[in-house]
């Protein structure tokens, strides 16, 4: 080994030793922010409870965990703080408040004060009215909320592993595949 190569390799070793703790600290800090449900970033406690309640009806606990067990609400809170623009965050929070207000005017109670079967019935009615339609520029809050819950849920490791058969390298093309009861949806590298 020549002296120039030795100096270059030594400089890379020193750089990695210097930057590794900083990178680890940054990554560790992000992880704590996502999974610490007590530190709400955008939602207040009541909004967070409402988000959990709606999300758990959209994706309830079965043999796989519910949306709140996978901290969909915490991730949504983080997205609203760090990813979405302030105007989108305000619209989302206004939509959440309007959802609860409409529930109050329709049922006589806020969504969180309804019992579980009443919550399910109300959300089922909203789902029938909202989903499956195409919208122009003004997409209803519930449509956005449900899409976001499903996307976040299936972005988690447990959401993918327990609900989908992930095949990292796709096999040959088969145009017609027979599905039997209990089969999972197969996905490749692209969803």
Kind plus residue range of the DSSP H or E element containing 113: none
Print pLDDT tens along the chain (191 aa): 677 776 666 665 655 555 555 555 655 555 544 544 458 889 999 999 999 999 999 999 988 899 999 999 999 999 999 988 999 999 999 999 999 999 999 999 999 999 999 999 999 999 988 887 887 778 888 999 999 999 999 888 888 888 777 666 666 777 777 778 877 766 654 44
59 Cβ neighbours under 8 A, 6+ residues apart? 66, 67, 72, 149, 150, 153
Structural domain boundaries of the chain? Answer: 1-35, 40-163
Rg (alpha carbons) of the chain, rounded to whole number: 23
| φ and ψ of 54, to 5 deg | -65, -45
- pLDDT confidence of residue 37: 45
- pLDDT confidence of residue 178: 79
- pLDDT confidence of residue 163: 77
46 Cβ neighbours under 8 A, 6+ residues apart? 112
């Amino acid at each position: 080994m020549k002296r120039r190569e030795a100096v270059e390799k030594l400089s890379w070793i020193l750089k990695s030793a210097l930057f590794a703790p900083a990178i680890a600290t940054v990554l560790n800090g992000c992880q704590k922010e996502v999974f610490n449900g007590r530190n709400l970033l955008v939602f207040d406690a009541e909004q967070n409870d409402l988000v959990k309640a709606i999300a758990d009806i959209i994706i309830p606990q079965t043999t796989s965990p519910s949306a709140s067990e996978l901290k969909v609400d915490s991730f949504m809170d983080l997205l609203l703080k760090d990813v979405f623009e302030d105007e989108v965050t305000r619209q989302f929070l206004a939509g959440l408040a309007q959802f609860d207000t409409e529930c109050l005017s329709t049922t006589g109670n806020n969504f969180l004060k309804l019992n579980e079967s009443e919550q399910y019935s109300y959300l089922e009615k909203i789902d029938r009215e909202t989903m499956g339609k195409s919208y122009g520029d003004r997409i209803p809050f519930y449509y956005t909320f449900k899409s976001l819950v499903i996307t976040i849920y299936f972005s988690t490791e447990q959401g993918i592993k327990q609900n989908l058969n992930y095949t990292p390298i796709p096999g040959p093309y088969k145009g017609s595949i027979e599905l039997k009861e209990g089969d999972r949806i197969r996905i490749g590298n692209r969803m």
